Amino acid sequence: MSTTTATPVPPVRQPSRFATYPGDVRHIVGEIKGPNTLGEYLTAVTAEHDPATNTTRVGFAYTTTHDVTAALAANGLGVVR
């Protein structure tokens, strides 16, 4: 009998802040930005491009430990413990 461990998948988060950028910047989703004026870090969780105005509305949520771990792993820097 083998035991498997599932990697927890974070729930889809709703953005708490939005910003509009010129051009198509949908690739920003998953990127961590900051710190803001309060020292907080935010992660882009949604991006909607409007071709009529050539702008992208990006939704941000507060950065979690999972976001940081995923960013480090994506850049080959290992896991934070």
Q: What are the CA-CA distances from residue 37 to residues 2, 23, 48, 53 (Å)?
A: 50, 25, 25, 29
* Confidence category of residue 12, pLDDT binned at 50, 70, 90: confident
CATH code of the domain made up of 17-74: 2.40.10.220
In which band, very low, low, confident or very high, does the pLDDT at 49 lie, cut at 50, 70 and 90?
very high
Tell me what the mean pLDDT of segment 1-29 comes to: 80
Residue 11 DSSP one-character state = P
Q: What is the pTM of this model?
A: 0.75
Q: What is the mean pLDDT of residues 14-43?
A: 95
Domain limits of the chain? 17-74
